[in-house]
Amino acid sequence: MIGFEQLNEMQQKAVLQKDGPVLVLAGAGSGKTGALTVRIAHLLETGVKPWNILAITFTNKAAKEMKERVHKLVKDGAEEIWISTFHSTCVRILRREIHHLDYDGQFSIYDSDDQEKLMREVFKQLDYSTTDKAFSVKGAMSIISSLKEEMTPWEDYLKSADPSDLKASRVAKVYRAYQKRLKENNALDFDDLIYKTVMLFRNHPDVLEKYQDRFRYIMVDEYQDTNTSQYELVYMLAAKYKNLCVVGDDDQSIYGWRGANIRNILEFEKDFPNTVVIKLEQNYRSTKKILEAANAVIHHNQTRKDKSLWTENDGGSILHIYKAENEYDEARFVAERIQEMINEGRSYKDMAVLYRTNAQSRAVEDQFVRKGIPYRLFGGVRFYERKEIRDILSYLKVLANPADTIALRRIINVPRRGIGETSIDKLVTFAEGNNLSLFDALGRLDEITELKTRASKFRDFYEIITSLQRDADELSAAELIDTVVKRSGYFQSLMTEGTEEALSRIQNIDEFVNKAVEYDKTNPEGGLAGFLEEVALVADIDGYEAGDDTVVLMTLHSAKGLEFPYVYMIGMEEGMFPTFRAVMYGGEKDIEEERRLCYVGITRAREELFMTHAKSRMQHGITQYNPPSRFLKEIPQDLVDMPTRQISDMAKKYAMRESMKLSPITSLKQHQVGGRGTGKPATTITSPIGRKTMPAPKDFVLDYKEGDKVRAPKYGIGVVKSIHNGGADFEVEVNFGEKGTKKFMAKLSKLIKVSE
């Protein structure tokens, strides 16, 4: 068997375990993809037909990699194996079977922007305010997404909702109207792709059995990230033959906040009795000391399967932990250390800066700009979210699905044709009054007397779309985009505008054409529907390419699945990582997920790992003093060194000046590769010098002093560290131990002295 001899003993066991339920616990960097691809080859060698194999991954990037590896191992039949993401798998099934649910197979797939526009229409229909913070458009979208992930139809939610609960009642009405609107547009949102597939299988057992017989051997990667609807989809498909192999790592389950249920992997053996459990613990990525640190941290979690990563790579330096004065000193340390490494012969692309939240990148970006360090900010505006790309995509969506009113309304006056919102509203009224789609209403313009002279504007647009429809089937995706851009007048309008921004938009459209050319080459039979499908299902991580020689900045969540020789994990403080929400309001479950995220971050490093924390950090306009993260304390001290630097008076003044700034970075765009707007400006803090000259309040006195214990409503009991005059109030600094040091204005704080 090709590639089999290159696998270790446990990987080989995973390959040879052909029948029945199999749980492969694959630690970070343990070579699971190689084992999975050889397993597929082994199934074919033992007589399994390629069309009887289904392999599901979470990202297009992972699916593409697996396909390429399988094609190298298998000469015949590889193209008939279904290797795709959950959502792509469901789209393929729904394109063939959704007529059972009274949809057309050419349905549109709505992204978050499309969903929000549709939801705003629903709010308008129900006369709900779109500016109400207590019940917002995005809040409603989030709730409905969670309900779909939990397989809760609007009918069930309506029955269970408490009539006296105003918010629940609103959610039920919005959910119902939203689904009705989707159906009228022959559209599915992202959650619907899995939700509708499961509903299809529930309501049509004959369709389910058809796919159970089709997919007799099923493999699921990253099983720890599955939510309820994904779990039910897999369970139903595998129920008949039970030849299900799931691969995952409970220690890397970090998406609980978006619905992933770690119980799916922890209780797999209960769901499928007689499961064979195989542990892949040999790591091929990191040094021994990095793995020892990762193991030491994750072993503090109670909710996990017992396993420990190990490696034959004994090399590598000890870990580095740096204690900074503040976030600016932290950023300077990272920038200067990277410069030193470059001077030693390393490459920028070998380095990554990881953080818990996007806002933490600002200080680092500032330093990189100042020192001329090229970088990419991963997770900024996605290519497909740019205006010109969304415009052209909307044209393509209308060609594929004329019932898609969201796409149609976006382009009906793009480029400008003199069609205003008032005229569009008249068209909508006519369509609704005659039970027509908006596109069908365009075909009956002569009947809409209210439009008067404006009808000719609509007619021009309608003729453009119908002419494109006639040609669409004869053109490749790339040719169709080029035709749309020119025939719609979009290209000419940008050329007429002639600004630098307009020319940049043309370049982006050219890049979009390049994407289509690439698609046409690899999917000659895919057509327009296939191209739209691929674009709709692109995930953030699929956009990462390691080509440019730049430092990568990204969140820890985004870094999952990636690896770098040198990693900097910044902001390792209580309240930052783990987050304030997890520390103050979450239970042990939330802390354990934060710890798993730390484990993921540590195991991204191949050769060297730097972890930094700051004594003070500006958060929400207030200087916070947080202790080092508990995760740092969980790393054995013999694995760690503490890089220190003499901070000169000049450096201290620089740090203070940086923290006092109000202006954002001005020259950021010309230095960064990825492109991103600047962060929010910092808020002014009180200087120590100014503090001493402030008078004491005259209208009240404190009943506690420095050293006394006080209670704060949110933080519990702490010790008063310092009290400063603040003019009309006292500024009180209180140490709450693990929860950090917080500053309060006494009158507003509700601090109460605690008797000994």
Residues in contact with 406: Cβ distance below 8 Å, sequence separation at least 6, in sequence order:
108, 110, 114, 117, 118, 185, 187
Q: Are 752 and 735 in contact (CB under 8 A)?
A: no
Catalytic residue among 114, 222, 574, 594: 222
Could you tell me where the beta strands, DSSP code E, fall in 158-261? 187-189, 217-220, 244-248
Rounded-to-integer distance, Cα 587 and Cα 594, Å:
11
Rounded-to-integer distance, Cα 540 and Cα 559, Å:
11
Query: Which pair of tokens denotes residue 114?
Result: 């499309």
Catalytic residue among 17, 33, 303, 683: 33
Rounded-to-integer distance, Cα 59 and Cα 232, Å:
19
CA atoms within a 13 Å half-sphere pointing along the CA-CB vector of 226: 28
Rounded-to-integer distance, Cα 439 and Cα 409, Å:
10
What are the angstrom distances between the C-alpha of 683 and each of 226, 329, 620, 657?
41, 18, 8, 12
User: Is 202 annotated as catalytic?
Assistant: no
Report the first-to-last Cα separation within the chain, whole angstroms: 74
Relative to beta strand 617-619, strand 622-624 is: antiparallel
Of 446, 444, 437, 490, the residue nearest 468 (C-alpha): 490
User: Is 314 annotated as catalytic?
Assistant: no
**Which residue pairs, CB below 8 angstroms and at least 24 apart, start in 226-229?**
226/260, 226/261, 226/264, 226/265, 227/149, 227/258, 227/259, 227/260, 227/261, 228/149, 228/150, 228/151, 228/259, 228/261, 229/148, 229/149, 229/150, 229/151, 229/191, 229/194, 229/195, 229/198
How many Å separate Cα 526 from the centre of its chain? Answer: 27
Rounded-to-integer distance, Cα 705 and Cα 582, Å:
31
Q: Are 266 and 231 in contact (CB under 8 A)?
A: no
At residue 145, the 3 state secondary structure works out as helix
Could you tell me where the beta strands, DSSP code E, fall in 73-142? 82-85, 108-110
Rounded-to-integer distance, Cα 53 and Cα 499, Å:
52
Beta bridge partners of 601: none
Host H or E run for residue 141? helix 137-149
User: Is 32 annotated as catalytic?
Assistant: yes
Catalytic residue among 192, 221, 520, 658: 221
CB atoms within 10 A of CB 717: 13
User: Is 222 annotated as catalytic?
Assistant: yes
Rounded-to-integer distance, Cα 748 and Cα 744, Å:
8
User: Is 497 annotated as catalytic?
Assistant: no
What are the angstrom distances between the C-alpha of 277 and each of 15, 17, 274, 691, 727?
13, 10, 9, 63, 67
Rounded-to-integer distance, Cα 145 and Cα 188, Å:
12
Burial, 204: exposed, middle or buried (Cβ in 10 Å; 0-12, 13-18, 19+)? middle
- 276-280 sheet: strands from edge to edge: 82-85, 53-57, 217-220, 244-248, 22-26, 276-280
Catalytic residue among 457, 604, 630, 676: 604
Catalytic residue among 11, 37, 230, 252: 252
Catalytic residue among 32, 173, 426, 617: 32
User: Is 604 annotated as catalytic?
Assistant: yes
Q: Which residues are catalytic?
A: 32-33, 221-222, 252, 604
